[in-house]
Amino acid sequence: MESLSTRLANRINTQSDILHAPVSARLLEAFPEINTMLRLEEMYSPNARLKHVAVERLSKLVQAMLIFEMPEIADQELQWAANILPRSGVTYDQQSSMVRWFFEELRQLNLDSDESSLAQDIEHYLIGVVRNIYHPFN
């Protein structure tokens, strides 16, 4: 029998196209400066590039947290990102918005109550990690 965590991770994986594109589109709309930060290859639109370099990575991180049932996986990954991304202009608001909007899209998948509760726990955990990394003394 599939565990709740594995079931939610699989759902995120199979619904990734539905989840990722709206999040990257919202990020580009809310933070137009992201366009100048992206290194665009000729074959990618800003939305496709942002989806690939940010939203898909967040999705894979959430899936790993669920599959291994270890939210702490995010601590090291996001700590590393916080040491690199601000040099490229990535802000707390952009990171926290991406997390919030990812989970908003996830909730649109009509999760059952257990999946919704677990998703909310993971979202709160990630928001807390991002906040602690960008604002360690608050």
Complete DSSP assignment for 67-87: HTT-TTHHHHHHHHHHHHGGG
Interval 98-113 mean pLDDT: 96
Q: What's residue 41's pLDDT?
A: 60
Range of the domain at 65: 4-134
Instruction: Say whether pLDDT at 83 is over 90.
Output: no
Tally of structural domains, the chain: 1
* Global confidence as pTM: 0.92
For the chain, the farthest-separated pair of C-alpha atoms sits apart, in whole angstroms, at: 47
pLDDT of 89 reads: 82
φ/ψ of 121, rounded to 5, equals: -60, -45
Closest CA to 26 of 76, 99, 109: 99
What local confidence, expressed as pLDDT, does residue 138 receive? 65
pLDDT tens string 41-57: 667 788 988 999 899 99
- Which CATH number belongs to the domain containing residue 44 in this structure? 1.10.490.10
pLDDT at 88 over 80: no
